[in-house]
Chains A and B, each alone.
Chain A
Amino acid sequence: MSNTSRRRWPLLLPPLLWQLTFFLLPLLFLFVISFWSVVNFRLEPDMTLKNWDFMLSRSSFWSAYGHTWSLALGAAVVTTCCSFPAACSLAFTVSERTRKLALMFLVVPFFTSYLVRVYSWQAFLADNGIVNALLAVVGIDGLPMLNSDFGSLVGYVTLALPLVTLVQTMGLAQIDRNLIEAAHNLRAGPVRTLFEVIIPLAKPSLVVGALFAFILAFGDFVAPTYLGGGAPPTLSNLIIDTTKSGQQWPRAAVVAIVMILTLVLTSIAAVRLAYGRRK
């Protein structure tokens, strides 16, 4: 017993100390500085609630909060719905080989910078951009897409779609085919099979995929800035503005803590939904 414990310390300590010192402490430190004050553009240790009061009493903060929340929720719903047919198709109707190849392609975006992809979307969505040029061919007048919530959503979906499709495909591929065939034999139509067999069985992967999309969208600042136009701001925009222009790190820390709390609560709710109360 003491032998294995002696053996594990040399392996356990380095990563543990690293993540404690450079991951956990910085996050806890955020909490600490949210009670500090800024004097002459310098951070001074303090024990004040005025940063919390300043942020939480502003309606602009709460409207940014609502905006971020609804954008992230929209991103989760849109991404989940968009990727589900593709995931079904990949999980049920193609060979193992094709599926592996498709999953490989889903990994490709990882090797391109998200920034570059967002910049590229600007060319698609601009008023005189590619999409509007194509629409003009079929006689549809220019649609404003850039610098709107729609633009932000395109960015979020770009960010999350590959991952969500992967998660869903892997979840769906694990479903026991016999259950689907049993439903078929019992004369359930395709729609009924989908809603009463496939979706309940795939629920964990659907919810986890949606949660990933929510988390990614909730924290992203690139899409709302460069595709959404930055107004109204999201919470991450707020953090950046507060940090970069005003040196008001304590106030930004308040926003960060509210964000973390929101994400933790959302994750707990999602995990409950995914794994709890299964019939």
Chain B
Amino acid sequence: MMLKIGRWFGWAYTGYTFLFILAPIAASLVFSFNADRFPSLPLKGFTTDWYGGTFTDPLVIEAFQRSVMVSVPVALLSTILGFCAAYCDFRFDFRGKSLFSLLMLLPPTIPAVIMGLGMLSYLSRIGLAGEVWAVLISHVVIALPFAMAMIRLRLAQMDSALEEASWNLRASPAQTLWHVVLPFCKQSLVAAFLITAAVSFDEFAVAWFVSGLNETVPVRVLVFLQGQVSPVINAIGTAVFTSSILLVAIGMAFSGMGKAKRAAADTPAQPVGGALVTNNGLSL
């Protein structure tokens, strides 16, 4: 009896926890359609004006284009570099390997303000601060660890006999990498690409420091936030949220389609979920 009550209490509490986590997201969705420009409770009626206003604002459009321009190369570079790092960690033993992995994985634990200041002073010294390049470079540093972690998780599932068989069949290491390892990691590569794109699309602090006048979407949101009350923030937030969720859903569907049902049953989108775990915490 006691246990049952405890159990129900636990579920109710968990429900409240989720409410706390999801409330601001839900509220931002609701207020993005609210006619009142101040977000307060009696809702004033339905409007799509904020969306209209947002997507005709040249500053927002420009920021959006810039964010896409940055996040796609960031995702590509971090996925490639992340794969290299993950494979080295998986395959080779060498002196200083734990130091290497630490260096690869550390960036998300450094507070963004400090990363921002370090990047700003360093990149301005080599003449890159205030350029889109600066945002791209810093975002690869921050996103690479996520790609590495996700791909490393997938590599851990690989039977090492697979590579040995390929070497025995006289494939060179490079051929083995290309024809055996990469196809095995395909799903996690796609997932890493999408997640690192999302990391870059969402990162505002370092970008704010180094971007100069080249605002990305979240930097624009920060500028709105510094100004007065602005329902535009809700509209942008909801739009970005919807598209990120769509992207991830596409990514998951893609990884499910990838290798018929056998592979899908093997790893039911596990790399995605697993890596998000790391991801969620350390970005920001």
Contact = CB atoms under 8 A, between A and B. Distances in A.
Interface of A: 4-5, 7-8, 11-12, 14-16, 18-20, 22-27, 29-30, 33, 43, 82-83, 85-86, 88-90, 93-94, 100, 102-124, 126, 128-130, 133, 157-163, 165-167, 170, 190, 212, 215-216, 218-221, 226, 236, 239-240, 243, 249, 252-253, 256, 259-260, 263
A166 B111 contact: no
Given A120-B23, A129-B40, 9 more contacts: A8-B94, A18-B81, A23-B107, A109-B25, A113-B237, A115-B204, A115-B225, A115-B237, A123-B27
A77 B148 CA distance: 31
Contact of A119 (B80, B100, B234, B276): B234
Contacts of B25: 108-109, 112, 117, 120
Nearest to B7: A93
B41 to A, nearest CB: 4
A106 B14 CA distance: 11
A123 B113 contact: no
Contacts of B202: 113-114
B28 A16 contact: no
The 4 closest A-B pairs by CB, nearest first: A219-B111, A116-B237, A89-B10, A163-B281
Nearest to B107: A23
B117 A249 contact: yes
B280 A166 contact: yes
Contacts, number: 259
Interface string B9-29: 011011001101111110110
B280 A106 contact: yes
A270 to B, nearest CB: 12
Interface string B44-55: 000000000000
A15 B138 contact: no
Interface stretch (B154-162, B184-192, B241-249, B253-261): B241-249
Nearest to B177: A11
Give the secondary structure class of B's interface. Answer: helix
Contact of B144 (A18, A82, A260): A18
Interface string B151-174: 000000000000000000000010
B84 A215 contact: no
A30 B60 CA distance: 33
B35 interface: no
A116 B234 contact: yes
A159 B20 CA distance: 11
B109 interface: yes
A219 B40 contact: no
27 contacts: A11-B87, A12-B100, A16-B85, A18-B81, A19-B144, A20-B103, A29-B122, A93-B11, A100-B273, A106-B21, A107-B280, A110-B276, A111-B198, A111-B244, A112-B25, A112-B241, A112-B244, A119-B28, A119-B234, A120-B24, A120-B39, A129-B40, A133-B41, A159-B284, A167-B281, A236-B113, A252-B117
B84 A14 contact: yes
Interface residues of B, number: 86
A19 B141 contact: yes
Given A27-B118, A110-B280, A124 B23 contact: yes
B141 A11 contact: no
A89 B13 contact: yes
A23 B117 contact: no
B121 A249 contact: yes
A142 B280 CA distance: 34
Contact of B21 (A109, A170, A215, A263): A109
B6 interface: yes
Contacts of A105: 18, 21-22
A66 to B, nearest CB: 18
A224 to B, nearest CB: 11
B205 interface: yes
Contacts of A259: 111, 114
A167 B141 CA distance: 24
A219 B113 contact: yes
A123 B14 CA distance: 24
B204 to A, nearest CB: 6
B221 A22 contact: no
Contacts of A107: 273, 276-277, 280
Contacts of A27: 110, 114, 118
Which of B3, B7, B113 neighbours the largest number of chain A CB atoms within 10 Å of its CB? B113
Contact of A113 (B27, B81, B137, B218): B218
A89 B114 CA distance: 37
Nearest to B173: A7
A221 B121 contact: no
Contacts of B40: 123, 126, 128-130, 133
A128 B14 CA distance: 28
B117 A190 contact: no
A190 B244 CA distance: 43
Given A22-B141, A167-B281, A190 B111 contact: no
